[in-house]
Structure 1
Amino acid sequence: MAREIIRSEEYQALWPLAIAQDAKSKKRWNVLLDGKKAGGVYAVSLGGQITGFRASHMAPGWQGALIIDDPLKVEDAYSKAARDKANRKLVSTVKSRKAQPDTPIVVIMQRLAQEDPTGFIQMGKVPGDWTFVSIPALLEDAYVAALPSGYRDRIDASLRDEHGRFSYWPYKEPLNDLCALEQADRYVFTSQYQQQPRALGGDLIKSEWFSYYETPPRILLRKVYADTAQKTAEHNNYSMFQLWGLGEDNRLYLLDLIRGKWPAPELKRRAIAFWNSHKPYDHKTSASLAQMLVEDKSSGIGL
């Protein structure tokens, strides 16, 4: 891609450079200026072989940079071992590949987790002076106000969501699409789109607190909890009914749940049916249903 950009008419009109004819590989090639090699590109995976190669040259002035693009794969974001491996590369391999101390390092990535390479750098684990540039997909007025005037004037904030937010690029990322993505998976959206990753599993309730069971112990108390949504459109949240039980081992067990997008009459019918389906009980294994608790907001007020 980089070579094709340099070869384009638009690039050549601004910076007339030729690609050296000895560039046989897409991973390693040089450009010519006045018939002489004037720098080039060596592209390799983060864990690839770069023995004997340094970024920039040992000469005065700016001689090049080390650019790291997406050092952590999306599918590795949930793996502590993969995150630690990528972070170790920043300290061990990458730092040793600078030809001189002033060779800049540029890391380009979407945020994936609090402990991803960007977070690792922000925690001060990689020496040097770093500048962080974050571009969230949904912008707020405070973010735009902090930008230089030349950028503020180019932002289209005419279409906003209920919180006053607007898309950073309405043509490519329509506001409705971003809001739907946020509703579908808040963790992924907050991390990859808003560049503000939360702790895996949430900030208050940790995923490692949960485990699975095949057969629960004797249940001493059973209650139904209802979390209802305000609207039933595709991008809105689900309504949920859950049956929870307190085991004789003093642990909480999720025993059953249903979820859906139901208007008020159907929501009521579902609530009654869910309650009645769990009303029968065996006193040897569980207690009777004690209560149904409904969140006092949205459609839950009517329910």
Structure 2
Amino acid sequence: MLHYLPGTPQTLPPRPQMQDVVMLRFSHQSIVEPILVPAVVEPLLVWVLAGAARVEERALGGQWVASEVKTGDFFLTNTGEPYEMRWQTHGCDAFEVMHLYLGLPLIDQAAREVLGEHADPVTFLDVSGARDERISFLLEQLRQEFIDERQPSPLFAHSLAQALAVHLVRRYLDPNRSARRSNALQAYKLRRVIEAMTEGLAADFSLANLARVAQLSEYHFSRMFKRATGLSPSQYFIRLRMSRARHLLLETDRSIIDVGLEVGYSSPSHFSQVFRREVGVTPSAYRRA
């Protein structure tokens, strides 16, 4: 999510790494331009810590669906397809959220506990702007353990995450999508690939190198990456290049030629052509605007 969300990540105190539990905190302002949220195999819980907002979501090319959310509401995302979202904060209050990823071993263990030892892999319903007192209680306990305790207990935090996974299996199971998991890309692989792309914006695009980072064949990597992001690896690489170029054009005084070189275009005319195709205006017009 650090690669996708425009909000400000909130610094968490140094804590020991916990297997199967990842927590992030964000402070958000209104965002008008939709952001693309990838589809990954792990379920994501988003809990509103403070503030209120109108959050809109849609499938790619679909109709916007709006939810009014406030402190204590949650989102559960386990979608099989990438989607877009945007939001409008209400008032001047900060809109702060906590993201919690639960690893597949936790989910599978909970499914065996609730459904039996031979339970198939499970996925969850997608929930937007709902309230659940047990989820709020468990997330608040996890927040306190990760942030407020001087010496957080991995055992206690893991137990809370296990209880949360059991509750999700009991209350939010999607009975119609148990076969999707094998076709989804794991979040850590998507993160590694995007980091490799970002570090190599000045280099030529290499599908083979990215497939090695993901530890997949080129064919399976291309298919699973597009399923996760809605874009082919090469299209996504160009989008990252243009995002970096827009930043440099607005935030620095570097020449357009230098900006093009930094994002991998030795020909100024080729850079201008790609930039106009992707952004809608030339680099010089974008800087002036």
Give the TM-score band, short-chain normalised: under 0.3
Greater Cα radius of gyration, structure 1 or 2: 1
**TM-score computed with the length of structure 2 as normaliser:** 0.26
TM-score by length of 1: 0.25
